[in-house]
Structure 1
């Protein structure tokens, strides 16, 4: 009985550590996605602000 309780406690501890690591990884991923979105928006604004964009860009030339 003691072994099963100890084993169960050990399993619960490992699962808790894994969940914490997963939560941290998801938080980092969300930060990276937010940063990439902001950088993408900045690139779009930069393209729109160029004089070539105002006159049109011929992508088929």
Structure 2
């Protein structure tokens, strides 16, 4: 890699490293709220899986 290419890469990395926070748009906010709500709750299959594990652990004792 040439010296010029390295300088260009360094400049690109520096620009990417500076994150300026901004307010979310209404759509972004709604999406984030829905996503957080969805991933915060276990699915029925996850609940069944962990219920089976608890039963197995209780019977193993």
Q: What's the TM-score once normalised by structure 2's chain length?
A: 0.41
Q: Which has the larger radius of gyration?
A: 1
The structure richer in helix per residue is: 1
> Which of 1 and 2 has higher RCO (CA within 8 Å, sep 6+)?
1
Q: What's the TM-score once normalised by structure 1's chain length?
A: 0.41
